[in-house]
């Protein structure tokens, strides 16, 4: 929410209250208005997450797809979705961090600017990158000399991801020209960003051709968010996903594919992911409050959760949620 918009709204509220408060003494009015102002500052000073993209690496619509799934997005730009990304904001310090530098970074930075009505700097105070697959880091190119020519944007990455960027073009040029400053993050370490926000980085099993693959838990003064956009299968991880979700307030989880029959003509074993159906089965015995934490994200164009309202409603009826671009969490 924007500050001037909030201020106007509270201004009107206070004006209305001042009529109501005529029955109180001057001191009574001051006390009541102070309480309201303190409450409003408290409510709006909490960090939050703003979802900037929900699609798998290829985006939605998907290159070369003329099927029903993408036809509705080619025909109507309102149905298009950007690649998985979100902002973590600290309204108190007016800082923010971007998770993933996607091929859609240009639109996502613009969306963030518009959704927060310019209350934050255009560029984030840092970017966290999960791994070296195209949907998660190639947007960094937009920060380079050919485009923005950014200065010293902090890029947080696990060790292999950090050296991949430092040692390979064109990313290495971004480092050399100091468009970006790589901040290597140790596996299982916690990075303090403000007194309200800390980020815990860990690894998950995935096709690690060029880098390891990170997952994150973002600890804010208000909530804990688990983010695992890509993982091969829950069973391959040394942690129990059900327990991990229990520990947080919101879990943004890999929903690349809904079910096993989604890529006719391609071997699903080449691109393993937990199917949404499998994740739902894993959580089917848990309490409703646990299931309600799960927000499926990173949807491939073939996953009906990104385009089919019936599938979306069925998921909600089963007690789960799906991430929506522009959603505040
Ligand atoms: Zn991905
Ligand atoms: Zn498609
Ligand atoms: Zn990946």
Distance 154 CA to ligand 1 centre (A): 21
Query: Ligand 1 centroid vs 213 CA: distance in angstroms?
Result: 10
State the pLDDT at residue 1. 42
Is residue 7's pLDDT more than 70? Answer: no
**Predicted pLDDT of residue 36:** 61
Ligand 2 center to 304 CA (angstroms): 10
How far is ligand 1, taken at its centre, from the CA of residue 296, in Å? 13
Phi, psi of 140, rounded to the nearest 5 degrees: -55, -30
Q: HSE of 37 in the Cβ direction (CA atoms, 13 Å)?
A: 11
Measure 160 CA to ligand 2 centroid, in angstroms.
32
Closest CA to 214 of 222, 198, 226, 224: 226
Round to whole Å and give the CA distance between 174 and 166.
9
Adjacent-strand bridge partners of 317? none
Q: What is the pLDDT of residue 42?
A: 54
Separation of 160 CA from ligand 1 center, angstroms?
17
**Residue with tokens 């050919």, as numbered in its chain:** 146
Sorted by sequence, the CB contacts under 8 Å of residue 72 that are 6+ apart come out as 79, 307
Q: pTM of the full predicted structure?
A: 0.87
Q: What's the average model confidence in pLDDT over 239-266?
A: 94
Ligand 3 centre distance from Cα of residue 206 (Å): 7
**Ligand 3 geometric centre to CA of 207 (Å):** 7
Is it the case that residue 86 has pLDDT exceeding 50?
yes
Q: What is the mean pLDDT of residues 122-135?
A: 98
CATH number, domain 46-322, options 1.20.210.10, 3.90.1150.10, 3.60.15.10, 3.40.50.2000: 3.60.15.10
Return the minimum-mean-pLDDT range out of 35-39, 133-137, 238-242, 254-258: 35-39
Task: Please name which ligand lies nearest the alpha carbon of 299.
Answer: 1
Distance (angstroms) between ligand 1 centre and the Cα of 230 equals 5
CA 133 to centroid of ligand 3, rounded, Å? 5
At 3, give phi and psi (nearest 5°).
-65, -45
Distance 231 CA to ligand 3 centre (A): 7
Q: Cα(303) to centroid of ligand 2, in Å?
A: 9
- Whole-number Å distance, alpha carbon 276 to ligand 2 midpoint, is 18
**Which ligand minimizes its atom distance to the CA of 307?**
2
The Cα–Cα gap between 163 and 167 comes to 6
Start-end of H helices in the chain: 3-20, 26-44, 68-75, 105-115, 134-137, 159-167, 171-176, 241-247, 276-282, 288-291, 309-317
* Least confident window among 21-25, 207-211, 262-266: 21-25
Domain spans in the chain, listed from the N-terminal domain onward: 1-44, 46-322
Ligand 2 centroid–CA 135 distance in Å is 16
Give residue 2's pLDDT.
45
Q: In which order are the strands placed within the sheet that holds 95-99?
A: 48-53, 85-90, 95-99, 126-128, 153-157, 180-184
Is 13's pLDDT higher than 50? yes
Q: Which ligand is nearest to the CA of 271?
A: 3
pLDDT tens digit sequence for 30-75: 666 666 666 655 555 899 999 999 999 999 999 999 999 999 999 9
Ligand (nearest to CA of 70): 2
Ligand 1 centroid–CA 8 distance in Å is 41
């Amino acid at each position: 929410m924007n500050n001037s918009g909030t201020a106007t709204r509270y201004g009107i509220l206070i004006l209305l209250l001042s009529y109501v408060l005529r029955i109180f003494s001057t001191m009574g009015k001051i006390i009541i208005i102070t309480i309201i102002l303190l409450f409003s500052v408290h409510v709006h000073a909490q960090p939050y997450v703003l979802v900037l993209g929900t699609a798998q690496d290829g985006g939605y619509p998907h290159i070369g797809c003329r099927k029903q799934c993408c036809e509705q997005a080619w025909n109507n730009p309102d149905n298009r979705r950007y690649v998985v990304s979100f902002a973590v904001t600290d309204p108190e310090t007016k800082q923010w961090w971007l998770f993933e530098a996607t091929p859609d970074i240009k639109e996502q930075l613009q969306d963030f600017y518009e959704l927060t009505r310019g209350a934050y700097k255009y560029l984030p105070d840092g970017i966290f990158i999960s791994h070296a697959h195209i949907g998660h880091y190639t947007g960094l190119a937009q920060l380079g000399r050919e485009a923005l020519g950014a200065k010293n944007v902090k890029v947080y990455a696990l060790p292999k991801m950090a050296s991949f960027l430092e040692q390979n073009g064109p990313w290495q040029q971004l480092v050399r020209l100091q468009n970006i400053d790589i901040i290597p993050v140790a596996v299982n370490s916690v990075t303090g960003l403000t007194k309200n926000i800390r980020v815990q980085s860990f690894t998950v099993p995935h096709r690690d051709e060029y880098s390891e693959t990170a997952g994150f838990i973002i600890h804010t003064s208000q909530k804990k968010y688990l983010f695992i956009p890509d993982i091969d299968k829950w069973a391959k991880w040394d942690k129990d996903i059900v327990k991990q979700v229990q520990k947080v307030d919101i879990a943004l989880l890999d929903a690349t594919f809904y079910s096993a029959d989604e890529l006719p003509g391609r071997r699903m074993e080449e691109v393993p992911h937990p199917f949404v159906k499998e994740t739902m089965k894993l959580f089917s015995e848990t309490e409703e409050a646990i299931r309600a934490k799960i927000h499926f994200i990173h949807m491939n164009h073939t996953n009906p959760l990104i385009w089919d309202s019936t599938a979306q409603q069925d998921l909600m009826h089963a007690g789960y949620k799906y991430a929506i671009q522009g959603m505040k969490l």
